[in-house]
Structure 1
Amino acid sequence: MTSLALHGVGIGWRRELALFIDRLPSPGFVEVLAEHLPPSGDVPEPLSRLRERGVPVVLHAVSLGLGSAEPPDPRRLDWLARQAERVGAICISEHLAFVRAGGLESGHLLPLPRSEDALDVLAENVLRAQAALPVPLALENVASLFEWPDAAFSEAELLAGVLARTGASLLLDVANLHAHVLNHGTDADAVLACVPRERLAYVHVAGGVQRGGLYHDTHAHPLHAGPLELLERLAERLGPVPVMLERDDRFPAKAELASELSAVSTALDRGASRWRAGARP
């Protein structure tokens, strides 16, 4: 799969941010949560206006459960395909996680066991989803507060493995990677190094908070230096990459949002400048 037509700095479209986003002179792209869209009828008018302006739209989902032992529910895949068509999405992104088992919903994006069996199931589920969806699929690494015991391989090897076995691209969440570094000692450089530019769809950055000795990826707190540093290091390796800011709660004043978008642009430009100069890791 080749890189998608995403560029620049985007932002997650939320109703609470619709006016702020509408007034941005040139958002690179927007990401819409599939589960937050109205079940039928027209899409929200501010989102339609962005499409009319030519702003690319990505549909982001949280409920497929690609890491579950059961295959993705065909009804969920059909619903997701229809939502993508409604908003004119150029791709769909979902998480490398499971969210249900035995008919019970977890309410969380739970991490996958890093085993060969789990990777086999994940790859098969991704291939099923790709066959059912009308646009390309991008897979996102998740943040976690725990890890399964007896891991057979690293986080970087999990990402590389699913990319090798499927035609999907990667949505690299550097805030989630930052959480893994702090919570589990994950090797961030190994993860950054495993991402081929042609398989990178886009990047997430978001805020979080340290609580009880663990870093929580909340999307409701100010943006930390850690994810920005990882974004800069990624751009130093790969050059300019499409990146977007997520904010899902405790929506700040427009000046704070604008400042965070500026910080994202600055980190991206710093890394890309070193890439252009040939100072690659």
Structure 2
Amino acid sequence: MKRLEGVGLGWRRQLAHFIDTWEGLGFVEVLAEQLDERGALPEPLLQLKERGVPVVVHGVSLGLGGAEPPSPARLSRLARLAERLGAVCVSEHLAFVRAGGLESGHLLPVARHEESLEVLTDNIRRAEAALPVPLALENVASLFEWPEPAFCEAGLLTGVLERTGAGVLLDVANLYANALNLGTDARAVLAAVPRERLAYVHVAGGVRHGGLYHDTHAHAVPEGPLALLEELTARVGPVPALLERDDRFPPVDELAGELEAMRVAMARGVARREAA
């Protein structure tokens, strides 16, 4: 997989001007479900492509964790978008989203059992074969776990990496949420991803509500995800990291401050690694 570099930002129409003028832009990620793979693509996005800014196509509805194979139509759509945008890779979630024609309306976790891992592996291989670029898989945030898991979240990632050629989109905000809400061993998950399989990292904000932490993509990034980003870079060195913001778009100086905080966290991690 071609490596991304630097700090990126999720492309949203509301952020198009900032992204176009931000001098520190390393790469962008576009949501597949918000684009027409056959119609005209947004002009600002095409201009980024012409400038040579690396693009990632990010999907949220493939449903790799379901018992049904991924839809050929959905895979074809992702493939066409990747080709039109000259994407470096396509990313999707290790998630369950539908069964029997019913949509969950949310990215639900995959049951951590051997049978589920076998189905997940088969679905990932189908997706890899259908896409013209490498596939990166994202860990999801959850407010619950399926009963009697056979292995931990790190074990699920390890199983996927051992059985497929896919890369990892490591979401430290999701990992932070799971550590708070479910007691997930965040450091074990960080250790489960070899640098050569790490495509890039997601960072996002959230909020505590009703005793739980919610990964909203609409609030400021707390210290927790930044601390995990620092820990990751202390383990593996510099990584490409992208800020997700989907709602309550902040003023330009606040957005720039969050991106700078990501740079600082990674610089601290790299310094720790060099010192060690």
Partner of 2:109: 111
Is the Cα–Cα contact under 8 Å of residues 8 and 243 in structure 1 kept in the other structure? yes
Partner of 1:9: 7
Shift of 1:86: 1.7
Structure 1 segment 118-197 matched on structure 2, within 5 A: 118-197=116-195
Query: What value does the CA root-mean-square deviation take over the aligned residues?
Result: 0.9
- Write the letter of the residue equivalent to 1:205: V
CA deviation digits over 1:177-203, x for unaligned, max 9?
Answer: 000100011111111111100000000
Partner of 1:264: 262
**1:268 and 1:39 mapped to 2: Cα distance?**
35
Q: TM-score, normalised by structure 2?
A: 0.98
* Residues 1:231 and 2:250 aligned together: no
Shift of 1:39: 4.6
Partner of 2:74: 76
**2:156 and 2:36 mapped to 1: Cα distance?**
34
Is the Cα–Cα contact under 8 Å of residues 33 and 61 in structure 1 kept in the other structure? yes
3-state SS, counterpart of residue 116 of structure 2: helix
**2:81 and 2:41 mapped to 1: Cα distance?**
9
Is the Cα–Cα contact under 8 Å of residues 157 and 192 in structure 2 kept in the other structure? yes
- Structure 1: gaps spanning 5 or more residues: none
* Identity rate, percent: 70
**1:267 and 1:4 mapped to 2: Cα distance?**
24
CA deviation digits over 1:92-115, x for unaligned, max 9?
Answer: 000000111000111100001100
- Structure 2: gaps spanning 5 or more residues: none
CA deviation digits over 1:246-274, x for unaligned, max 9?
Answer: 00011111111000000000001110111
Runs of 4+ residues over 3 Å off in structure 1: none
Determine which of 79, 95, 98 is the counterpart of 1:97: 95
CA deviation digits over 1:134-185, x for unaligned, max 9?
Answer: 1000000000011111000000000011011000000000000000100011
Partner of 1:206: 204
3-state SS, counterpart of residue 29 of structure 1: strand
- Write the letter of the residue equivalent to 1:16: Q
- Write the letter of the residue equivalent to 2:96: F
- Write the letter of the residue equivalent to 2:102: L
* Residues 1:48 and 2:46 aligned together: yes
**1:39 and 1:169 mapped to 2: Cα distance?**
24
Shift of 1:38: 2.8
Is the Cα–Cα contact under 8 Å of residues 37 and 80 in structure 2 kept in the other structure? no
Is the Cα–Cα contact under 8 Å of residues 7 and 24 in structure 2 kept in the other structure? no
CA deviation digits over 1:204-224, x for unaligned, max 9?
Answer: 000001111111100001110
3-state SS, counterpart of residue 146 of structure 1: coil
3-state SS, counterpart of residue 182 of structure 1: helix
